[in-house]
Structure 1
């Protein structure tokens, strides 16, 4: 909405300026180089900017390649070939721009005229354009510096100072390149291979720690199992006191197996015989059935009775 109002204001300003001054022949000259073999239907375009004074016209800053100001003096030549088309364009910058299109049949100088229609009012615009052949155009290229490498591509801008219409020696303006260190994100400072290697080392270290921890746990469990091997674990539903009694019987039987009776001043003594070879026998006795253990207990009782009787 604001853009439309702005454009309308600019148009009205132009209308008032044109209405306050008698229409004069507004002239602009431009040189357009075309080859001799140009297609008769080739369209050429000139962009013109209107200054404060409506009778003053200059070429727009971004003139098409091949155009240049030829002379400030007007050249009145009838528009005898081609068609001149004038269009009003309102841009955000507020420039009043006219676009002129010419169908060039033959090289030569052509005048153009047309009308600007603003709010149903018509205003005349006139000028001329020169179309001619430029022979032996020598290219003269001027280039800037290469840009930074972005996405592995860098560019530079070049222009031909002689504005040759069909240049044949255009310099290279784009090329592939290696990544610029300044354009690389900080996250990419570490090469991928090194980052992968570091990650693998971390994973290996974690695995080794887990293995060591697991081995330590297994050793701890093994120690607990070994320590519990000498304990008699009650079977579910069985009386725990029975196992305590069995343990005592096993202990006494083992002691008797490794003892001998000797006479002493105080009487007979039961002396233990510490022989390494008896260790296996102790384990075997510990594994004897309950019936055998009971027999051993009876034997012990008989021996005790025998000792008492002898006393």
Structure 2
């Protein structure tokens, strides 16, 4: 299956609750290939879809609050990219897990304990430096995962990954440019960037220990090596010492048992979802 075959616009697009448009995978062969574990595909797509949805919601909080209009538009567009990724991944989940549920069911009608996103995505936005630092880390890590998943044995997931790689490369580029500007800027901007990175460091181990896609082509060791290499490159260009700016202890699966992938979330996820899901839950099955 080619990427073009998967993403032909059949009638219209749908990325928001209640719009009543067609299935985003309409027209694609959605059967899980023989020999591929449908449970692995469903779990992977659900987790990566949750990462994207929660991250997009945090970015949406910058609307009207970004330091410049240009940055407000950039962050909003990155959020829309992530919503599109969530939409495709949720649609694939509904086919792979056998329930046939659509994207709205996963986005709006699950409770916090049912979400499988990494906890870094759900932390409050903080200042602009924190948002940039988090975007740098998550987009770099997500890009490494999706690059590996372009070779996934499930052709639908592989096509979703190929499309997402192009978007994530831009997300990383945008965050990297701002990291350099802040890190190599004034004493105040450098301090804020260092503070942001130190705040993110304790959550990085959960990302690097993630094994959600291990059976679909994304080897955790390879993803970790590429993520840390790319992060170090940006930090050096920003005039920051990677080991000091983003200190990382030993990474192992046992160091983060369950975590977000197991439904163990911070207290920040529930209010985020309450706001996200409020209209859908107040008017179930609505369309306009």
Query: Which TM-score applies when normalising by structure 2?
Result: 0.17
Quick check: which has more Rg, 1 or 2? Answer: 1
Which structure has the highest strand share of the two? 1
Which structure has the highest helix share of the two? 2
Report which structure shows greater RCO (CA 8 Å, sep ≥6): 2
